Amino acid sequence: MFGAKGTPDTSGYGRLRRVIEFPAPSQRPYGGWYDAAVDRIAELMPSTPNAITKVVVERGDLTLHVHRDHLLALAKILRDDAYLRFELFSGVSGVHYPTDTGRELHAVYHLASLTHNRRIRLEVSAPDGDPHIPSVVSVYPSADWHERETFDMFGLIFDGHPHLTRILMPDDWPGHPQRKDYPLGGIPVEYKGATIPSPDNRRSYN
């Protein structure tokens, strides 16, 4: 589960470590329709050549790493341009990389083109000390609850969101439960007065 071998520990309490290796930028030709799509974006955003910081083709999927200042403009182009036409917003995933200094928090947007039967990912990062990225709700209204969940679980703040509040945890809940620095257990839970034991005090299934 954690990429470690030789141990039945799946809780993470054994302080297992897996080296995170970020995919390197892909080199042209990317293959398929990817080259034409990247060229089309560059053609439509001539004044912002640094909007896309990295292009990655990994396991057959195209991911564009986007500077957060240009996310909203790129989302509009991806939705509205006839050649691109990514009209379906599938979701946004939050990721926490504590060792990725200056880019600790990532938001990964999943878009699909029903017109052309294509999929694309946009990945945006923000530093832990300034976890702000623009909301895409004005472009993709269905992003509303997805961005609220990512805010709730990871602490990313989506500027311009119409009502950015917690969606799973109570409004006064401390912290963001899916961050790597959040406790695995041993914290009070307000439901029915229960508590979650820390991993070393839980039942062993071996």
Q: Is residue 89 part of a domain?
A: yes
By mean pLDDT, which of 60-64, 71-75, 165-169 is the weakest?
Answer: 165-169
Taking the C-alpha atoms of residue 111 and residue 88, their distance in angstroms, rounded to an integer, is 6
**What is the pTM for the complete model shown?**
0.81
Q: Is residue 18 part of a domain?
A: no
Q: Is residue 24 part of a domain?
A: no
Q: What is the domain-level CATH number for residue 129?
A: 3.30.460.80
Residue 117 has pLDDT above 80, yes or no: yes
CA distances from 81 to 42, 49, 77, 183 (A): 13, 18, 6, 44
Q: Is residue 8 part of a domain?
A: no
For residue 188, the 8-state DSSP code is: B
- Tokens 């009502």 locate to 163
| Chain centroid to CA 141 | 18
Q: Is residue 23 part of a domain?
A: no
Which residues span the domain enclosing 175?
A: 34-201
> Structurally, how many domains does the chain consist of?
1
Backbone angles phi, psi at 42, to 5 degrees: -60, -35
Residue 199, pLDDT score:
59
Q: Is residue 3 part of a domain?
A: no
Q: Quick one: tokens of 107? A: 């938001």
Residue 82 has pLDDT above 80, yes or no: yes
Vertex 97 angle, CA 162 and 130, to 5°: 45
Q: Is residue 144 part of a domain?
A: yes
Q: Is residue 11 part of a domain?
A: no
Residue 45 has pLDDT above 60, yes or no: yes
Taking the C-alpha atoms of residue 21 and residue 200, their distance in angstroms, rounded to an integer, is 29
Give the pairing of strands 61-66 and 118-126: parallel
